[in-house]
Amino acid sequence: MEIRFKLLFPTGYSVDDICENGNIDAHIILDNGNVYAATFITPTNIMSLMDNCEYLDERNYLYIADMIIVRDLKLSSMKEAVSYLIKWEKLNVACEKIAERASKYSEYENFDSFDSNDIK
């Protein structure tokens, strides 16, 4: 049986976010009630952060927890990445589980009616 999921963006999602140099935080809500936290980030944004972040100083590394690298921040790209991680049972490796059967997300229980207009 296929596990269905939804993406919820705590800071919102808009057309302006669809780019090749950016990152966005998301909650991945599975139809089994588990919720995972992820940061979707583009390779260009990683390099930009490496080159421009003052807190990196002379260090040659950057650590971002729960990071999923995507070519762009299109919904289709993020959904494809999550689908792959679920299919190969790697979501729990790539992301942190932040809730099980969380009532906070109960308004998102109807996965059949979910579409991009539901994204917050």
How confident is the model at residue 8, as a pLDDT? 93
**Residue-wise pLDDT tens digits, 70-89:** 999 999 999 999 999 999 99
H or E segment to which residue 46 belongs? helix 43-52
The residue type found at 47 is M
How confident is the model at residue 115, as a pLDDT? 43
Query: CA separation (Å) from 25 to 30, 40, 69?
Result: 16, 6, 12
What is the pLDDT of the chain when averaged over all its residues? 82
**Residue-wise pLDDT tens digits, 6-25:** 999 998 887 565 688 899 99
| Residue 119 in this model has a pLDDT that exceeds 50 | no
| Residue 93 in this model has a pLDDT that exceeds 70 | yes
Query: CA separation (Å) from 79 to 36, 55, 74, 76, 116?
Result: 14, 32, 9, 5, 11
